[in-house]
């Protein structure tokens, strides 16, 4: 089985380097244009099943890359809820004591005030993807960078969260054998 994980295209949150997850931001026109250019030059995998997180930016990305293809929303694959830090930049937050406490060396397990931790995001995402993996059929999921990174670092712990953070419109195709991840390649693919 091959599970393809694609990060949504560029949003205002990406451009402004905001902490954002629960905010339902649309793609910027430049994000749509970049996806269209990538689709024209590269190959995005096809599959038997397709999902998004149900958020606007993933739905718009899916529409650019896969058109009218039937798909479902897996809400457990939504991006992390940054709580009180949502829609704010590092520069805005660096003097905030609660932010400094959250962003220390235990950042993976620290919960954002009124939000989630990376650990909680990982548990939620892995629970949401489990039925997909149990089906054992090729699947494409257009979701979020944090979701992708959290799952990849669980499956392939030799890398870091940053190692697995894909650029907008890119991602990873993970191969599973007997329900276990055995390898991965970056996507989209360059045509041969």
- pLDDT tens digits, one per residue of 83-132: 999 999 999 999 999 999 998 878 889 999 999 999 999 999 999 999 99
Q: What are phi and psi of 129, to 5 degrees?
A: -85, -15
- Is 185 a residue whose pLDDT tops 80? yes
- Please report whether residue 153 resides in a domain: no
Question: 136, 47 in Cβ contact below 8 A?
Answer: no
The answer to whether the CB of 174 falls within 8 A of the CB of 38 is no
**Is the omega angle on the peptide bond into residue 188 within 30 degrees of 0, that is, cis?**
yes
Asked whether residue 161 is domain-assigned, the answer is no
- 122 Cβ neighbours under 8 A, 6+ residues apart: 150, 151, 153, 154
pTM of the full structure: 0.96
Q: Give how many domains the chain has, as a whole number.
A: 1
- Measured CA to CA, the distance from residue 145 to residue 27 in angstroms comes to 14
pLDDT at 152: 98
Asked if residue 192 belongs to a domain, the reply is no
Averaged pLDDT score across all residues of the chain? 96
What is the reported pLDDT for 19? 95
With respect to residue 16, please indicate whether it lies within any of the assigned structural domains: yes
Domain-embedded: residue 29: yes
- The per-residue pLDDT for 105 is 78
Q: Is the dihedral of CA 183, 142, 163, 28 positive or negative?
A: positive
Q: Which domain holds residue 94?
A: 6-144+168-187
Tell me whether residue 31 is in a domain. yes
> Residue 72 domain-assigned?
yes
Kindly report the CATH number assigned to the domain that includes residue 182: 3.40.50.1240
Cβ atoms 7, 166 nearer than 8 A: yes
Segment 53-71, tens digit of pLDDT: 999 999 999 999 999 999 9
Mean pLDDT value across residues 5-14:
98
Orientation angle between helical segments 56-66 and 29-41, nearest 10 degrees: 30
Q: What is the pLDDT of residue 107?
A: 85
Is 37 inside any structural domain? yes
Banded model confidence at residue 165, pLDDT cuts 50, 70, 90: very high
DSSP assignment, residue 83? G
The predicted structure's pLDDT at residue 72: 98
């Amino acid at each position: 089985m091959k599970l393809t994980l694609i990060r949504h295209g560029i949003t205002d949150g990406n451009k402004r380097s905001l902490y954002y997850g629960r905010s339902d931001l649309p793609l910027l026109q430049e994000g749509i244009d970049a996806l269209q250019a990538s689709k024209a030059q590269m190959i995005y995998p096809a599959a038997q099943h397709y999902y998004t997180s149900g958020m606007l930016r993933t739905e718009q990305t899916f529409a650019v890359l896969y058109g009218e293809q039937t798909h479902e929303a897996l809400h457990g694959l939504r991006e992390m809820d940054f709580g009180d830090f949502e829609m704010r930049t590092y520069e805005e937050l660096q003097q905030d004591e609660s932010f400094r406490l959250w962003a220390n060396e235990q950042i993976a397990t620290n919960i954002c005030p009124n939000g989630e931790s990376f650990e909680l995001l990982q548990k939620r995402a892995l629970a949401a993807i489990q039925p997909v993996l149990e089906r054992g059929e090729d699947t494409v999921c257009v979701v979020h960078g944090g979701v992708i990174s959290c799952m990849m670092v669980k499956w392939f712990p030799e890398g870091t969260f940053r190692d697995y953070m894909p650029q907008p419109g890119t991602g990873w195709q993970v191969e599973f054998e007997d329900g276990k991840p055995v390898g991965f390649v970056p996507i989209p693919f360059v045509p041969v």
